[in-house]
Chain A
Amino acid sequence: MKNKKENSTLLQIKDLKIEGFSDERWHKIIKGVNLELKRGEVLGLIGESGAGKSTLGLAAMGYTQPGCRITGGQINFDGVDLTKRTDSEKRKYWGNRMTYVAQSAAASFNPAHRLINQTTESTIRAGLKKQNEAFDEARALYDALNLPNPETIGERYPHQVSGGQLQRIMTAMAMSPNPDLIVFDEPTTALDVTTQVEVLAAMRDIVKTYGTAAIYITHDLSVVAQMADRIKVLRYGEEVEEAMTRKMLKSPKEDYTKSLWSVRSIQKPEKKSKDIILEVKNVDAFYGSFHVLKNINIKLPLGRTVALVGESGSGKSTVARVITGLLEPKIGSVKFKNRELPPSLKGRTKDQLQKIQMIYQMADVAMNPKQTVYDIISRPASFFAGLTGANLRKRVIELLEQIDLDESFIDRYPSELSGGQKQRICIARALAANPEVVICDEVTSALDQIVQEGILKLLGRLQKDLNLSYIFITHDIATVKAISDEVVVMNEGQVVEQGLKSEIFSPPHPEYTELLLSSVPEMDPDWLTDLLKARNY
């Protein structure tokens, strides 16, 4: 281990300004941010999309992405101002004294080389260790990161190991030269929650053992709470506030910081209902020869919300495809108001199609970019209700008002709307058909927290006003708590359990539900430690 002077400043960024080039002009991404990091300290950088947190994280290494430029300020790393250094001078730091862990490990490993060669590449290049010495240490790191078969896993190629394992190997790669600073750029965002726990634990422990300073970038406050000593909140390229982790969580100064967990503040009281409007009965479905759904039974009560929860690959979105008729089930059926729906889309009547509407995760690709808001919303209204002319326009304006927008939006194209507005237009399009059941497929997961809160509240109000029944597909437990009456937990194409929200969230749980619920990070800096203790790691 290197001899590090504790508590001395390692990195100091002063009044940093960065601009990016897009749409034929330069605009500001980072607008004068200060940052200080001591040796062995972990700083969390948190913010939502467009906050500039990744740009700042890379800038801490003296690196700017193509199409970006530093227009002012200093980046002092161990007494050297990196803004004044050439690339070839900075290369002596990169992969040696400072390393980087990227969000998508799958894309960030070179497909042509073995993992152990990539893990040790920069260490050997910098002349820090001989090859066999570096290899031995890499295997030790694999072991410390709880990777399976640490002796041999390095002989594999990137496509031969799973995403969670790749992310840990990338951490090993960052640790290999024993750097002074590691930048973690959303390292667990692409992972499922149950996988995330192991990766988080492995990363936290190894950083602590080696006493490495780190910058941890994420949009998830509960994740950063487990990792960081200190947290800095960014918004639109400016600092909102900075505080020690516990203090930040207990008493944030700024309203914006509180809004970062605003979805968690919505708590919908659950209501029972006896009338069943939609029922999925004994459904088995296949993609080719792959058995995606196994004996699925789900009941949707009238005017209520059923949340379908599960990780990627659990089959929750496939249930939506079966209900809408996009995928014909091999066995079983879908009943609407106690009458069986034809299995395929083509067999359904206009009336049946009208009653079930869908809202998608990515509002961007759910709207035709060449159509105006009027085109998008008016089509279902004229198609199903046969409205024309002034009546149609009146209906469109009425729908816009229902979703808290107004007439001024009518001639805009989707590219002229913000993320939340786009999702609202998609909701209006679904409402335009006068549906009774609305399927929401991860409708909030691509949005910032404060926007999510707005959308969830809107959906709740619409449910009350129009007596809508929702099937709400999501992987996010906070969203489930905020919107559902009943919950269906899915895993590997099967329903683990279905019941009222209060029943599902109170123990005892089936094994998978327990794993899923306990893996969701909480706003408590001790959560990970306690969880690991409980799981006997």
Chain B
Amino acid sequence: MNKDTKTYSAAGEVGSILETRSTFTRLKIELTKAPLTAKFGIFIIIVFVGLAIFAPLIAPYGEAEVFPEPYAPWSSNHLFGTDQIGRDIFSRLIFGARNTVGVAFATTILAFLIGGALGLAAAINRSYLDLFLSRTVDVLMAIPQLIFALVLLSIFGSTIINLIIIIAVLDSTRVFRLTRAVSLNVVVMDYVEVAKLRGENISWVMRKEILPNILPPLIAEFGLRFCFVFLSIAALSFLGVGIQPPTADWGSMVRENASLIQFAQYDLKAAMTPLLPAAAIALLTVAVNFVVDWFLHKTSGIKDEK
């Protein structure tokens, strides 16, 4: 780490000087060193995003195209059979990637915009605004999120827009808490005081001094929140109060085909049908969690004791 020097000069002063690398090479090195689970996660995420974007090109049939035979068995025509009113399961699974993942993604983005902005403002302002927001969030978080979502959906009705807004607002409470907490750690730093002493305005302090330093934990949190939102929306759809038919959605597909599972002894393949969308949900969540776990391990800098 250090080399010996007989004579003293500031420029040549010894210290742990790291080699400067470009972002791209650093990324490449990190990726090759990533554990298998993280590589697997990245691969799955890329596949799912591809499916979501190119759904109409990949799916053999339309999202709501109805065929004469309901509950058709798995065959070359219908890879995973058809559902209770004769729609192709495989096509609906692919369109489901677009709908379910898309809605969850939009919700998470919205939650971060709301929670992130308010959290940052509360951390900088630290007066009545902070007190008011923090107390409000405490109260909102005292009701279990799924229960709160159910209450709100019963009032406003289950449209996709309502779903996105309700879940985003409820989830933004957690984003608020995290943003506020990590920002508070940065706000007390001397370099923020230096900027204030220089007379910089609030917006500059937020953008240049605080935001770049709270980004890594927020990115990790984005992954975790996405998983949570994704599972919540899937649960609500499964319960029949989330994304509504005829939109293809993994949560409601599980519910619609659930009764097939009773016939496992006669037709195992058919019985697997309701598990396919559920497995799709699980697979994507696992993938994101693996990547976040790796990212957290990389950025936390905390080395576990051996």
Residues from chain A with a CB closer than 8 A to the CB of B199 are 345, 348, 350, 353, 383
- Distance in angstroms from B8 CB to nearest chain A CB is 6
CB nearest to A408 among chain B residues: B11
Interface segment, one of A173-181, A409-417, A477-485:
A409-417
Known: A66-B306, A67-B303, A383-B198. A365 touches B191 (CB 8 A): yes
Residues from chain B with a CB closer than 8 A to the CB of A325 are 197
- Distance in angstroms from A11 CB to nearest chain B CB is 26
Residues from chain A with a CB closer than 8 A to the CB of B1 are 27, 50
Interface code B206-245, partner A: CB below 8 Å = 1, 0 otherwise? Answer: 0011001100000000000000000000000000000000
B2 at the A interface (CB under 8 A): yes
For the complex, give the distance between the alpha carbons of A370 and B193 in Å.
16
Is the CB–CB distance between A416 and B2 below 8 Å?
no
Is the CB–CB distance between A66 and B305 below 8 Å?
yes
Known: A50-B1, A66-B306, A326-B197. A368 touches B10 (CB 8 A): no
Is the CB–CB distance between B15 and A419 below 8 Å?
yes
A324 at the B interface (CB under 8 A): yes
- Distance in angstroms from B130 CB to nearest chain A CB is 17
Instruction: State the majority secondary structure of interface residues on A.
Output: mixed
| Total interface residues in chain B, CB < 8 Å | 33
For the complex, give the distance between the alpha carbons of A443 and B16 in Å.
20
Residues from chain B with a CB closer than 8 A to the CB of A326 are 193, 196-197
For the complex, give the distance between the alpha carbons of A131 and B2 in Å.
50
CB nearest to A430 among chain B residues: B194
- Distance in angstroms from A310 CB to nearest chain B CB is 20
Instruction: State the majority secondary structure of interface residues on B.
Output: loop
Is the CB–CB distance between A67 and B306 below 8 Å?
yes
Interface segment, one of A90-98, A218-226, A399-407, A503-511:
A399-407
Residues from chain B with a CB closer than 8 A to the CB of A406 are 11
Interface set, chain A 310-341, CB cutoff 8 A to B: 324-326
Residues from chain B with a CB closer than 8 A to the CB of A420 are 10, 13, 15
Known: A360-B190, A368-B209, A380-B198. A450 touches B305 (CB 8 A): no
Residues from chain B with a CB closer than 8 A to the CB of A416 are 17-18, 20
Residues from chain B with a CB closer than 8 A to the CB of A412 are 20
Q: Classify chain A: how many residues form its interface, as a range.
A: 35 or more
For the complex, give the distance between the alpha carbons of A419 and B13 in Å.
9
CB nearest to B15 among chain A residues: A418
CB nearest to B7 among chain A residues: A255
Is the CB–CB distance between A421 and B13 below 8 Å?
yes
For the complex, give the distance between the alpha carbons of A345 and B193 in Å.
11
- Distance in angstroms from A268 CB to nearest chain B CB is 19
For the complex, give the distance between the alpha carbons of A417 and B11 in Å.
10
Is the CB–CB distance between A324 and B197 below 8 Å?
yes
B129 at the A interface (CB under 8 A): no
A366 at the B interface (CB under 8 A): yes
Interface code A337-372, partner B: CB below 8 Å = 1, 0 otherwise? Answer: 000000001001010010001101010011111110
Residues from chain A with a CB closer than 8 A to the CB of B196 are 326, 345
Interface code B101-142, partner A: CB below 8 Å = 1, 0 otherwise? Answer: 000000000000000000000000000000000000000000
Residues from chain A with a CB closer than 8 A to the CB of B76 are none
A308 at the B interface (CB under 8 A): no
A: residues with CB less than 8 A from B are 21-22, 24, 27, 50, 66-67, 236, 255, 324-326, 345, 348, 350, 353, 357-358, 360, 362, 365-371, 379-380, 383-384, 403-406, 408-409, 411-412, 415-421, 424, 429, 433, 450-451, 454, 458
5 A-B contact pairs sorted by A residue (CB < 8 Å): A360-B190, A368-B189, A370-B213, A416-B20, A421-B11
3 smallest beta-carbon distances between A and B, as pairs: A418-B15, A66-B305, A370-B212
B: residues with CB less than 8 A from A are 1-2, 4, 6, 8-11, 13-18, 20, 33, 189-191, 193-194, 196-200, 208-209, 212-213, 303, 305-306
Given A66-B306, A325-B197, 13 additional A-B pairs, CB 8 A: A24-B33, A50-B1, A236-B4, A353-B199, A366-B189, A368-B212, A370-B212, A371-B208, A384-B198, A404-B10, A404-B11, A418-B17, A420-B15
